[in-house]
């Protein structure tokens, strides 16, 4: 790849001299508070998309006074356009296990669970085999921590952490009211750390290599690197670990097909950036954050169809529990159809934009709150494609 993009190799790096189990064994000899300080120092933020500082999340949970706590790995990778966790699970599962066990050591948990996306059941056999070995290894090393796998059933909303807990508890996967947050009452209403697959691997690697190497990457607000799932109109789709904080134009230079019209950053629930804004858009927490999905569209694509697909997805995947999301998504979908058919005036799009403002602040969880992201960014930048 001939461009300015800084490729990084942390996540998939294989250190022949030190296995993830060895990293774990080394790490649990250190004081837990020191590990937390390292994580905070590294600047690592959650890689699932929401970007909560990982060290703080662990610290809050550690501070909870409770006999039973849990570590959960959110492997319900369901955001359209995201497929990096699948690769991580397949290639370096031990690094995930080690991260979970380190977390367990830090917060005082004895059990960890991997919530595996229903559609990833084909990974289960191999993952379980590796996990059995790792659990045995931990037992042998005297580390009192066991990891289990729970399979999801294919609902997008179960990637939302509290819906994930409900699903794990055998209930309908519907998001809970917050507060309380997971650090106080998560799985089985016990203090719980729930981290994304990639985040857990980074924690292992930061414990391995120290916070400095991680911190040296990225920008002030977006430390480190990130695994991106690149798809769409690109000759080189796939998984790439890149430094955070890159300008979008550099990304497009590296991955586009020369005719890039827009990039959907952060999956269906993310933002659509048109060509004219590539230069001003930073990929990171200071600009547009992403769980890793980068979908590239060239000039042959109809942005109406793109938006329509997203809205169909959300209409179907809303859990249906809260009004703004359940009905709001349907209104947005049917609304653009009505405008397209001329049954509603173009100005109706502005009514719908106002509706997304309500969804953003009144929906119960991140699903309904973020549907306005693709909607508004596509309507604002490609209004004529929606109407005509």
Partner 1 sequence: MSKYLVNLKINNMPIAVEEGTTILEAAKKLNFRIPTLCNHPDLTVAGNCRVCVVEVKGARLLAAACATPVSEGMEVLTNSEKVRIARKHIVELLLAEHNADCTKCFKNGHCELQDLSGEYRIGDHVFLDLVKPASKIQDISSPSIVKDDSKCIRCQRCVRTCTELQGVSALGVVNKGDHQRISTFLNKPLHEVVCTNCGQCINRCPTGALTERNYIEEVWNALYNPAKFVVVQTAPATRIALGEDLGIQVGERVTGKMVSALKKLGFNKVLDTDFTADLTIMEEGTELLTRLKKALVDKDEKVVLPMMTSCSPGWIKFQEHMYPELLDNLSTCKSPQQMFGAIAKTYYADKINIKAQDMIVVSIMPCVAKKFECERPEMRDSGYQDVDYVLTTRELAMMIKQAGIDFDKLEDDHYDSILGESTGAAVIFGATGGVMEAALRTAYEIVTGREVPFTNLNIKPVRGMEGIKEASIKIKSVKPEWSFLEGVELNVAIAHGLANARKLMEKVKSGEASYHFIEIMGCPGGCLGGGGQPIPTSPEIRKKRAEAIYSEDTEMVLRKSHENPEVAEIYREFLGEPLGHKSHDLLHTHYKARKRY
- For partner 1, which is the closer residue by CB, 146 or 321? 321
Least distance CB 363 / partner 1 (angstroms): 7
Q: Which stretch binds partner 1 (CB under 8 A): 74-82, 85-93, 287-295, 313-321?
A: 313-321
DSSP state, 185? Answer: S
**Among 121, 338, 340, 387, contact with partner 1 (rule: CB under 8 A):** 338
Q: Does 355 bind partner 1 (CB under 8 A)?
A: yes
- For partner 1, which is the closer residue by CB, 130 or 360? 360
Least distance CB 91 / partner 1 (angstroms): 32
In sequence order, the β-bridge partners of residue 296 are: 232, 263
Q: Which of 319, 343, 314, 340 is nearest to 329 (CA)?
A: 314
Least distance CB 338 / partner 1 (angstroms): 6
Q: Which stretch binds partner 1 (CB under 8 A): 23-31, 68-76, 100-108, 314-322?
A: 314-322
DSSP state, 13? Answer: -
Separation CA 326–CA 316 (nearest Å): 9
Q: Which stretch binds partner 1 (CB under 8 A): 101-109, 125-133, 138-146, 352-360?
A: 352-360
Q: Does 129 bind partner 1 (CB under 8 A)?
A: no
Q: Which of 148, 18, 155 is nearest to 78 (CA)?
A: 155
Q: Does 324 bind partner 1 (CB under 8 A)?
A: yes
Q: Does 152 bind partner 1 (CB under 8 A)?
A: no
Least distance CB 157 / partner 1 (angstroms): 7
Instruction: Name 276's Cβ contacts closer than 8 Å, sequence gap at least 6.
Output: none
Q: Which stretch binds partner 1 (CB under 8 A): 211-219, 232-240, 259-267, 322-330?
A: 322-330
Least distance CB 93 / partner 1 (angstroms): 30
- For partner 1, which is the closer residue by CB, 179 or 258? 179
Q: Does 321 bind partner 1 (CB under 8 A)?
A: yes
Count of CB atoms situated within 10 Å of the CB of 26: 12
**Among 80, 232, 291, 335, contact with partner 1 (rule: CB under 8 A):** 335
Q: Which stretch binds partner 1 (CB under 8 A): 3-11, 113-121, 223-231, 333-341?
A: 333-341
Q: Does 155 bind partner 1 (CB under 8 A)?
A: yes
Reply yes or no: is the peptide bond before residue 180 cis, omega within 30 of 0: yes
- For partner 1, which is the closer residue by CB, 1 or 347? 347
User: What Rg value do the Cα atoms of the chain yield, rounded?
Assistant: 21
The CA-to-CA distance between both ends of the chain, in Å, stands at 38
Separation CA 210–CA 387 (nearest Å): 53
Q: Does 330 bind partner 1 (CB under 8 A)?
A: yes
Q: Which secondary structure element, helix H or strand E, spans residue 57, and what is its range?
A: helix 54-63
* Residues numbered 159-188 forming contacts with partner 1, rule: CB under 8 A: 172, 177, 179
Separation CA 51–CA 199 (nearest Å): 10
Q: Read off the tokens for 201.
A: 């691997």
Q: How far from 362 is each of 51, 159, 326, 328, 370, CA to CA, in Å?
A: 21, 20, 12, 11, 11
Separation CA 343–CA 325 (nearest Å): 23
Least distance CB 16 / partner 1 (angstroms): 46
Q: Read off the tokens for 324.
A: 């703004």
Strand, helix or coil for residue 197: helix
**Residues forming the site for partner 1 (CB under 8 A):** 155, 157, 172, 177, 179, 314-324, 326-331, 334-335, 338, 351, 354-355, 357-358, 361-364, 369
């Amino acid at each position: 790849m001939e461009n300015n993009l800084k490729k990084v190799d942390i996540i998939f790096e294989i250190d022949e001299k030190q296995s993830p189990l060895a990293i774990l064994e080394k790490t649990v000899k250190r004081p837990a508070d020191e590990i937390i300080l390292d994580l905070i120092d590294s600047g690592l933020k959650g890689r699932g998309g929401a970007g909560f500082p990982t060290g703080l999340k662990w610290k809050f949970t550690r501070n909870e006074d409770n006999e039973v706590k849990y570590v959960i790995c959110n492997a319900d990778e369901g955001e359209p356009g995201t497929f990096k966790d699948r690769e991580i699970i397949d290639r370096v599962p031990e690094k995930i296990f080690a991260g979970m066990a380190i977390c367990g050591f830090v917060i005082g948990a004895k059990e960890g669970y991997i919530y595996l996306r229903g559609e990833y059941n084909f990974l289960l056999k191999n993952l379980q085999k590796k996990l059995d070995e790792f659990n045995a290894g931990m037992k042998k090393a005297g580390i009192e921590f066991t990891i289990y796998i729970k399979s999801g059933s294919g609902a997008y909303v179960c990637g939302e952490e509290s819906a994930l807990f409900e699903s794990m508890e055998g209930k309908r996967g519907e998001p809970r009211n917050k507060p309380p947050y997971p650090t106080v009452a998560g799985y089985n209403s016990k203090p719980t750390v729930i981290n994304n697959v990639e985040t857990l691997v980074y924690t292992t690697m930061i414990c391995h290599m120290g916070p400095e190497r991680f911190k040296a990457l990225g920008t002030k607000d977006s430390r480190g690197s990130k695994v991106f799932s690149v798809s769409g109109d690109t000759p080189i789709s796939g998984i790439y670990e890149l430094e955070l904080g890159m300008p979008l134009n550099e990304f497009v230079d590296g991955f586009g097909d020369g005719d890039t019209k827009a990039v959907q950053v952060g999956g269906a629930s993310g933002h659509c950036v048109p060509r004219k804004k590539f230069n001003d858009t930073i990929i990171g927490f200071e600009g547009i954050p992403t769980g890793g999905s980068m979908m590239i569209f060239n000039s042959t694509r109809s942005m109406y169809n793109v938006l329509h697909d997203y809205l169909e997805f959300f209409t179907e995947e809303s859990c249906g529990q809260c009004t703004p999301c359940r009905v709001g998504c349907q209104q947005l979908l049917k609304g653009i159809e009505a405008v397209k058919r001329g049954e509603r005036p173009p100005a109706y799009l502005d009514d719908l934009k106002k509706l997304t403002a309500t969804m953003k602040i009144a929906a119960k969880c991140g699903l309904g709150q973020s549907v306005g992201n693709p909607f508004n960014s596509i309507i604002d930048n490609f209004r004529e494609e929606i109407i005509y």
